[in-house]
Amino acid sequence: MNDFPGAPDESASALGGGRLRVLAAMSGGVDSAVAAARAAEAGHEVTGVHLALSSNPQSFRTGARGCCTLEDARDARRAADVIGIPFYVWDLAERFREDVIDDFVAEYAAGRTPNPCLRCNEKIKFAALLDKAVALGFDAVCTGHYAQIVTTAEGLRQLHRAVDPAKDQSYVLGVLDEDQLAHAMFPLGDTPKEQVRVEAERRGLAVAKKPDSHDICFIADGDTQGFLERRLGTRPGEIVDVDGTRLGEHSGAYGFTIGQRKGLKIGHPAADGKPRYVLDISPVDNRVTVGPVEALDVRALTGIRPRWCGPAPVGAAEYTAQLRAHGEPVPVAAEVVDGELRVELAEAARGIAPGQAVVLYQGTRVVGSATIATTSSDPALAR
């Protein structure tokens, strides 16, 4: 008899039947600890693993951030001891640096706005970690992500939104392909976050009240611009209006994001007195263009490197799309043309930047994702 609500139903039957060998990725936070506990209570043979993602963990965020510090590794070990499962620390620092940190810097240098959490899920937790787990004979990787896997009558595994919309993380999992979903386990997707904390306390897990992780784990002080400047150096350039009028200077175009309003320091009010926003970041001439908020409207976009959470769709179809991690879904029409995803939005969205991800949904099901390459106010771009 299970004493706790929300016990995972994606256990034996969903992954092929029987007792499974499960590798539980334990970040040191409350979510991954409860996920590991549920997998063990479901009767699986669970081993906990903490990923060491920095050669100098003290350079990562501290203060109970729940991700990648020495403190987090100790919290994960204590949780594994309470659950009663073996625990190991795996060093993936070099892979993390190459696939996440270096990619993050390169994307900003190219004038794009990446999502490092999405890249970490794709390259680390469900590529490097899963590949190693399968090679060692594990059947599944279990994480504390808030998402659900639903198995159809035909035996296909689909990725769906979590029941708690405020915690849903299906957006950052939209990079997972069919094979990765076949080896994934998300025990928390059917449970609101507050119930997870109550459950952690009942189980005697010391991380029950540990704050959630936020921001970017590898930027210790939270100063993204300072981090990029240390990596890329000072690169002075112009800030211009939409007509090319020079308004000021910047020390590096990588310090700006599409839709940014604060911190422009241009010192020249617009003729209409209204605030200006970052409209474009050009790495070629190191120029940042600002203008009125209406110029941020996006009605179409193209996405490259599409990845599908199941069979690739054929032809044009209607979906809802999520364009940022905590953004509201918008109705869209989309299709793949010559390997490129073309998306037409039913209503304008603002602040959409190249480098971010567009994730397509049908109802609660995640269809797939792509990296945004271009945006336009003209819906014809999607045709």
pTM: 0.88
pLDDT at 1: 31
Where along the chain do the CATH 3.40.50.620 domains lie?
21-209
Q: Which residue has better confidence, 37 or 54?
A: 37
Distances (CA, A) of 68 to 4, 30, 100, 109, 115: 28, 14, 14, 25, 17
pLDDT of 362 over the 60 cut? yes
Residue 379 near residue 345 (C-beta atoms within 8 A) = yes
State which CATH number among 3.30.260.10, 3.40.50.300, 2.40.30.10, 3.40.50.2300 fits the domain covering 297-382.
2.40.30.10
| Residue percentage of the chain with pLDDT more than 70 | 91
Q: Which two tokens stand for residue 23?
A: 């590798």
Nearest to 12 by CA among 25, 3, 22: 22
| HSE (side-chain half, CA atoms, 13 Å) at 377 | 8
Comma-separated ranges of CATH 2.40.30.10 domains in the chain: 297-382
Residue 19 in tokens:
């007792």
Considering Cα of 168, then 173, then 174, then 178, what sign does the dihedral take?
A: negative
CATH topology of domain 21-209: Rossmann fold (3.40.50)
Average pLDDT, the chain: 89
Q: Distance between CA 74 and CA 369 in Å, rounded?
A: 35
For residue 15, name the pLDDT band (cuts at 50, 70, 90).
low
Q: Residues of CATH 2.30.30.280 domain(s) within the chain?
A: 234-291
Residue 61 has pLDDT above 50, yes or no: no
Positions annotated as catalytic residues are 120, 217
Instruction: For residue range 212-258, list pLDDT tens digits in order.
Output: 876 688 887 788 889 999 999 999 999 999 999 999 999 999 989 99
Asked if pLDDT for residue 13 goes beyond 60, the answer is: no
List CB contacts of 339: < 8 A, sequence separation 6 or more: 306
Pick the CATH number of 234-291 from 2.30.30.280, 3.10.129.10, 3.40.50.300, 3.40.605.10: 2.30.30.280
User: At 279, which amino acid appears?
Assistant: L
* Measured distance CA(239)–CA(66) in Å, rounded: 38
Edge-to-edge strand list for the sheet holding 140-142? 87-91, 45-52, 21-25, 140-142, 184-185
